[in-house]
Structures are given as C-alpha cells and as structure tokens.
Structure 1
Amino acid sequence: MEPTKEDILAEYRRARADLDALLSDATAAELGRKSNGTQWTNEELLFHMVFGYMVVRALLPLVHIISRLPSGAGSAFASLLNAGTRPFHIVNYWGSRAAALYFNKRRMSARLDKTIRAITRRMDRESQESLSRAMPFPDRWDPFFTPTMTLRDVYAYPTKHFDFHARQLSLKR
C-alpha cells in the first residue's frame, strides 16, 4: 500500500526528531569517528542523511517536467544518468565530505528543518493525480531509486535513505 501524505509527513517528523537526538547526544570525538560500512565520519554521514531531503527538493520539479514528456525522453534521460553512475558516486562522496564542514553539528538541524518545511509546502499543493505522475529514474544511483518512480515515491524516498544510513552510524544510541 502506498503511503499517504500524512504517513510521509509523520516519517519526516520522526527523522527530524532522530537527527536532533543523534546530534544532541554525540560528542565531537564520536562525530569525528568513522561510520560503519562507509568512508564517511559520523558527522559527514549525518549530513549525507540530511542531503537526501535536499535532493528531493531538486527532484520534484524534474519529475513534474519529465513525467509530461514522451516516455522515450524520460528513459533516455535515466539511461544517461545511469551511464554517469561512477562520477555521480565520486561527487556524492566528496560533496558530502565538503558540505559537512559547513553544515556541521551546529547547522545541519536547521538545514533539515528548512528543507522539510519546503518539501511539506510543496506536497500540500499536490493532488492525488500529481502524486501518481511517474518518470524513469537512474536506479544505479541509489538503492532506493527504482527504474520508475512516482512523485509519491520521491516524497517518501528521503526517509528511507535516512533510515538506511542511520544504521551505519557508529554513535551510541
């Protein structure tokens, strides 16, 4: 069963509370320690988790546009992006490392708040019909990207991404 808008928003609120708890309990030494199963430190990984929500802000207009194009155009776009998976992963890794220098423990909570507010405002304006709009996705970029994703899937994506990476943190819970 597909999540409702209310389900998605409840997950956003939970992730927001989880981030606050993780940040408030973590020491500087813990944040600087390597995470489990990634090359990022805990602080870098926490930013990457927030970044998943930031990515959604960029994806929403893209889904609205590409879902209106002929299916071949969307498929070609997704194939082109899949062809660039390796450079994408490199930029994703180094970008999260660099961005965590600014969006650190002091700033990432505020960034998540601002981003979730913007996503929520946008979702509030979506109809059930628009939430069903779909486009092909570069499914090699992320384990939660599927070959075709609806707008509803895109709104639900960042919390799945957040929860997946939360299990890789080497912080005390």
Structure 2
Amino acid sequence: MDQEEICAEMDRVRNDYRDLVDTATVAELRKPTDGTKWNNEQLLFHMLFGYLLVRNLRILVWGFSRLPDGASRRFAALLNAGARPFHVINFVGSLFGARTLGYARMERLMDRVLSNLQTSLRTRPERVLDRGMHFPVRWDPYFTDYMTLRDVYHYATQHYDHHRKQLTLASVRGS
C-alpha cells in the first residue's frame, strides 16, 4: 500500500469509529462482544489502543532499522518470551480504558492520533517507509516476523477491522 491508501484507510476508520460510538446506546456498549472477553465499550477502547501503539512502534522501527538485523531479532525474541504478561496488561488495560476516558474523549483521542499518524506518514520518504525490524509474532496475529514502517502504519487498521467484526452493536450487525 502507498501512503495515500493507508491515510484513506485511516479516514474511513475515523468516520466509522465516530459513528460507532455516537450511535451506540449505553446498554449496547455494555453488551458482550462476539469472540472476546470484553464488552463493546472495552473492545472499542482496544481498537483505539491499536493506533496508540503505532505511535510508539514507529520509534522502535526507526531505531532498530538502523542497527544490525540481529538486534531487532533478539529484541523480538525477548518480547515473544514476555507475551503472556503483555496479554494480561493488554486485557486489563482495555477493561478500564473506556470508563476512564469516557466516550467523547475516546473519539477526540482517535481523531488526534489518526491525524498525527497521517501527518507523520505523509512526511516520510519511501526509503524510510521501507525500513523495518523483526516483531514479536506472539503479541498480535497481524504482526509478522519482519515489518517495515509502512507495515506498522497499516497494522492498526488491520487490527481495527478484525475487532470491528466482533462488536455486537446494532450499527455493526446492520452493516
């Protein structure tokens, strides 16, 4: 994918996320999801969290892509070894994220992080987007052994779309 295609995906997500949060009732947001242990509001926070994670992953890719390949390979192996604690933290964080932020702040944060990612992506030369590093494949099904910076920008939308299918909101079931 090129930069503008990834940015267009983020525009789609921005509008979709706002629509999901704005049209859901409190009762719907508290309903269980399909295939996760979270309810809808917790999963919506987790979907936001994927984009928040990309902000930090960009820095890791920037640094590790300048080091010998073995450095990121060892780092990914270390993170893979710590996958279980990561999954616990990821789960627990999403339990309280939506309640802590509130729905309006979640929407504003999604808008802000997407705008930031789009600006950052559009200013990156192709050669920079093609740099990459090894990733901990046990952390997320959309992480591959080696990901470029371009892959990292796209990852969050893959993650978002995957979890969107698990929402049990009326607006999702109707689409």
Q: Which TM class, normalised by the smaller chain length?
A: over 0.9
Residue identity matched to 1:62 = L
CA distance in 2, matches of 1:110, 1:102: 14
| Deviation beyond 4 Å, 4+ runs, structure 1 | none
Over aligned residue pairs, what C-alpha RMSD do you find?
0.8
Aligned position for 1:165: 163
1:40-62 deviations in Å (ceiling 9; x for gaps): 11001001001100000011011
Q: CA deviation at 1:15?
A: 0.8
CA distance in 2, matches of 1:21, 1:122: 25
1:103-157 deviations in Å (ceiling 9; x for gaps): 2322111000110111112112210000000100001100100000000000101
**% of aligned pairs identical?**
47
- Structure 1, unpaired ranges of 5+: none
Aligned equivalent of 1:127, options 121, 125, 141: 125
User: What is the SS of the residue equivalent to 2:103?
Assistant: coil
User: What is the SS of the residue equivalent to 1:145?
Assistant: coil
1:30 aligns with 2:39: no
1:15-57 deviations in Å (ceiling 9; x for gaps): 1111111112100000011111111110010010011000000
1:143 aligns with 2:141: yes
CA distance in 2, matches of 1:105, 1:34: 17
CA distance in 2, matches of 1:104, 1:47: 10
Q: CA deviation at 1:159?
A: 0.6
Moved more, 75-84 or 17-26: 17-26
1:114 aligns with 2:137: no
Aligned equivalent of 1:72, options 47, 70, 73: 70
CA distance in 2, matches of 1:159, 1:103: 21
Aligned position for 2:101: 103
For the Cα contact (< 8 Å) 1:43–1:104, is it kept in 2? no
User: Paired residues, what number?
Assistant: 171
Aligned position for 1:63: 61
User: What is the SS of the residue equivalent to 2:38?
Assistant: coil
User: What is the SS of the residue equivalent to 2:33?
Assistant: coil
Aligned position for 1:83: 81
